[in-house]
């Protein structure tokens, strides 16, 4: 609830599902994005940025939870009473961009984009209302080679970030194959009348990981009551039809030849199913030739993805190593992104079909994964060198010392508070400063500066018994002529970096 203090002041807090990112997190994200950007650029994709806000009707309603109020999207009216929304992904804005500029774009059009997206989720643990996606898309071709390439790109990206081969798999399926199964059990995949039923089936299957086959069977049939007592209506399929869908997703990921063979009899009767199967076979062939098949990219009949706009191949990047969940159990890390082919998104605007395919990485999820396997390189960085202020009347002198350090490429700051020596030392500690610079009247008289090594000092403090010994030995503290300040500080930084 929006709280305020007794005295009417607002409470300082964030809405749930939103969070601040501290320095190490910001630096690690930045490093990750730069690695991903490098791989995407090497594949020939070009950057594009679109704004956070779009017309609501331009974004459309494709979220899995579209039946909830607000369709899971943050929306508001501007002064002209037009409805605007925060983008919920980077694909819908891309479709708007392509429709708007179609004539002057190269075909195919290949772009990458990175940025925050927003979901108007009911606040709760683990539900984020803002998160960052990193997308690559190839628009304007129905060439299955574009889908195969997107999977290769994702595999290369994960490896470039340090996920070892064998600890991830890009899973591939095809919506047309599922539609073939549905056609076989009397659900018409293209009729308006069966659209809701098809969507319900899709979302039921998408919950396989969480609910298991039995839970999915209930959602395919008459419905399911969850632990909290909430009832989710089912797709209303006959038991025989439920069985067909379960057999399809049960074909799973047996090594792709076997999976494809298991699927074939289920879709044999429907053109659309056979077309989907042919696309899977073609992707297999391209991936195998490029050396990505089986271990890195594998067909998995249980992957369907929750978004409504996919029309053909769908992909999901899964990390297969285990981590402990909040209850201390070992669980597979799971999905860090997904994508697929969406041939109808641009036609929403233009009426003309523009086939497209793409992939979206969930940056925060992936960042958590890299941290879990020790591949996040954002170890805490050394703070700035702090120049202590021994006498505020002499600020300009301390400012000049600071500038001298900066001019030499040393990260440095003058203490800018107004407290005494003890607080200044505490400040430097809290900033993780490698050392402080001290120049009182005595040092000025001798043309010297003192450099106090805080890292060595902390080690010495652990072994020294009392204040007397400390004063006598003055550990980790040296005086040097002012002219040698830079050289001495550089030496100190080099020593600590070598041990970092």
- Contacts of a second copy in 427-446 (CB under 8 A): 427, 430-431
Q: Does 350 bind a second copy (CB under 8 A)?
A: yes
Q: Does 374 bind a second copy (CB under 8 A)?
A: no
Interface residue with a second copy among 103, 396, 466, 468 (CB under 8 A) is: 396
Q: CB 121 → a second copy: shortest distance, Å? A: 9
Q: Does 416 bind a second copy (CB under 8 A)?
A: yes
Q: CB 346 → a second copy: shortest distance, Å? A: 8
Structure tokens at 307: 């978004």
**Binding piece for a second copy, criterion CB under 8 A, among 1-9, 301-309, 435-443, 459-467:** 1-9
Could you tell me which residues come within 8 angstroms of residue 288 by beta carbon, excluding any fewer than 6 positions away? Answer: 294
SS3 388: coil
Cβ proximity to a second copy: between 247 and 431 the closer is 431
Size of the site for a second copy (CB under 8 A): 107
d(C-alpha 476, C-alpha 436), whole Å:
11
DSSP 164: P
Q: CB 47 → a second copy: shortest distance, Å? A: 4
**Binding piece for a second copy, criterion CB under 8 A, among 135-143, 199-207, 236-244, 366-374:** 135-143
d(C-alpha 253, C-alpha 243), whole Å:
18
Interface residue with a second copy among 36, 136, 146, 163 (CB under 8 A) is: 146
Interface residue with a second copy among 145, 196, 331, 461 (CB under 8 A) is: 145
Residues 76, 82, 83, 88, CA torsion sign: negative
Dihedral pair phi/psi, residue 40, rounded to 5°: -65, -40
Interface residue with a second copy among 89, 137, 149, 300 (CB under 8 A) is: 149
CA distances from residue 395 to 66, 418, 439 in whole angstroms, order as listed: 60, 11, 11
Cβ proximity to a second copy: between 115 and 250 the closer is 115
231, β-bridge pairs = 225
Cβ proximity to a second copy: between 331 and 407 the closer is 407
Interface residue with a second copy among 31, 294, 349, 486 (CB under 8 A) is: 349
Q: Does 15 bind a second copy (CB under 8 A)?
A: yes
Dihedral pair phi/psi, residue 305, rounded to 5°: 65, 140
Cβ proximity to a second copy: between 48 and 371 the closer is 48
Could you give the string, one character per residue 276-315, with x where binding to a second copy holds by CB under 8 A and - elsewhere? Answer: ---------xx--xx-------------------------
Cβ proximity to a second copy: between 295 and 469 the closer is 295
Within 28-87, which residues bind a second copy (CB under 8 A)? 41-44, 46-55, 57-58, 60, 69-70, 74-76, 78-80, 82-84, 86
Instruction: Please check whether residue 307 is in contact with residue 209, taking contact to mean a CB–CB distance below 8 angstroms.
Output: no
Interface residue with a second copy among 165, 400, 446, 474 (CB under 8 A) is: 400
Q: Is 395 left (phi over 0), alpha (psi -120 to 50) or beta?
A: alpha
Q: HSE (CB half, 13 Å, CA atoms) of 483?
A: 1
335, β-bridge pairs = 318
CA distances from residue 479 to 380, 397, 411, 454 in whole angstroms, order as listed: 28, 18, 20, 15
Cβ proximity to a second copy: between 237 and 405 the closer is 405
Reported as type and span, the H/E element at residue 299 is: strand 297-299
Cβ proximity to a second copy: between 130 and 479 the closer is 130
Interface residue with a second copy among 32, 36, 90, 120 (CB under 8 A) is: 120
Q: CB 20 → a second copy: shortest distance, Å? A: 5
Could you tell me which residues come within 8 angstroms of residue 219 by beta carbon, excluding any fewer than 6 positions away? Answer: 200, 203, 204, 207, 211, 232, 234, 235
Q: CB 12 → a second copy: shortest distance, Å? A: 4
Instruction: Please check whether residue 186 is in contact with residue 192, taking contact to mean a CB–CB distance below 8 angstroms.
Output: no
Interface residue with a second copy among 214, 329, 418, 463 (CB under 8 A) is: 418
Could you tell me which residues come within 8 angstroms of residue 167 by beta carbon, excluding any fewer than 6 positions away? Answer: 319, 320, 321, 373
Within 177-236, which residues bind a second copy (CB under 8 A)? none
Q: Does 352 bind a second copy (CB under 8 A)?
A: no
**Binding piece for a second copy, criterion CB under 8 A, among 134-142, 222-230, 301-309, 437-445:** 134-142
Q: Does 417 bind a second copy (CB under 8 A)?
A: yes
Q: CB 104 → a second copy: shortest distance, Å? A: 9
Q: CB 428 → a second copy: shortest distance, Å? A: 9
Within 454-493, which residues bind a second copy (CB under 8 A)? none
Torsion from C-alpha of 184, 185, 191, 196, nearest 10 degrees: -140
Q: CB 342 → a second copy: shortest distance, Å? A: 15
Torsion from C-alpha of 283, 286, 290, 296, nearest 10 degrees: 10
Cβ proximity to a second copy: between 55 and 487 the closer is 55
Dihedral pair phi/psi, residue 387, rounded to 5°: -90, 115
Cis peptide before 24 (omega within 30 of 0): no
Q: CB 343 → a second copy: shortest distance, Å? A: 13
Could you tell me which residues come within 8 angstroms of residue 64 by beta carbon, excluding any fewer than 6 positions away? Answer: 72, 203, 206, 306, 307, 308
């Amino acid at each position: 609830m929006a709280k305020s203090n007794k005295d009417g002041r607002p409470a300082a807090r964030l809405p749930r599902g939103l969070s601040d990112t501290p320095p190490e997190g910001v630096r690690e994200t930045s490093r990750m994005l730069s690695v991903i950007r490098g791989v995407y650029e090497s594949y020939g994709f070009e950057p594009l940025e679109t704004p956070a806000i779009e017309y609501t009707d331009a974004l459309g309603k494709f979220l899995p939870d579209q039946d909830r109020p607000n369709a899971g999207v943050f929306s508001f009216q501007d002064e002209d009473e037009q409805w605007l929304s925060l983008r919920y992904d980077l694909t819908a804005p891309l479709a708007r961009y392509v429709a708007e500029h179609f004539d002057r774009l190269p075909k195919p059009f290949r772009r990458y984009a990175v940025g925050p997206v927003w979901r108007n989720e009911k606040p709760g643990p683990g539900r984020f209302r803002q998160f960052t996606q990193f997308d690559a898309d190839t628009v304007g071709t129905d060439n299955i080679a574009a889908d195969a390439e997107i999977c290769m790109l994702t595999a290369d990206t994960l490896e470039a970030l340090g996920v070892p081969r064998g600890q991830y798999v890009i899973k591939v399926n095809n919506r047309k194959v599922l539609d073939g199964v549905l056609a076989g059990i009397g659900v018409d995949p293209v009729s308006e009348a069966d659209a809701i039923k098809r969507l319900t089936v899709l979302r039921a299957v998408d919950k396989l990981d969480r609910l298991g086959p039995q839970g999915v069977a209930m959602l395919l049939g008459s419905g399911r009551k969850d632990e909290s007592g909430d009832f989710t209506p089912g797709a209303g399929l006959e038991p025989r039809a439920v069985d067909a869908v379960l057999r399809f997703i049960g074909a799973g990921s047996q090594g792709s030849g076997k999976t494809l063979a298991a699927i074939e009899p289920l879709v044999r009767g429907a053109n659309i199913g056979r077309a989907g199967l042919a696309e899977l076979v073609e992707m297999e062939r391209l991936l195998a030739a490029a050396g990505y098949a089986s271990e890195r990219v594998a067909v998995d009949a249980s992957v369907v993805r929750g978004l409504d706009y996919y029309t053909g191949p769908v992909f999901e990047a899964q990390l297969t190593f285990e981590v402990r969940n909040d209850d201390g159990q070992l669980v597979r890390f799971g999905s860090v992104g997904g994508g697929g082919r969406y041939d109808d998104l641009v036609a929403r605007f233009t009426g003309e079909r523009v086939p497209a395919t793409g992939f979206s990485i969930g940056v925060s999820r992936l960042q958590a994964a890299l941290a879990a396997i020790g591949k996040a390189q954002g170890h805490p960085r050394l703070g700035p060198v702090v120049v202590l202020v021994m006498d505020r009347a002499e600020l300009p002198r301390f400012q000049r010392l600071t500038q001298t350090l900066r001019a030499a490429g040393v990260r440095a700051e003058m203490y800018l508070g107004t407290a005494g020596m003890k607080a200044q030392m505490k400040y430097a500690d809290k900033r993780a400063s490698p050392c402080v610079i001290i120049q009182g009247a005595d040092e000025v008289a001798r043309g010297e500066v003192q450099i106090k090594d805080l890292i060595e000092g902390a080690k010495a403090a652990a072994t020294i018994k009392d204040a007397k010994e400390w004063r006598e030995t003055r550990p980790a503290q040296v005086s040097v002529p002012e002219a040698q300040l830079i050289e001495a500080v550089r030496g100190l930084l080099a020593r600590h970096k070598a041990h970092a």
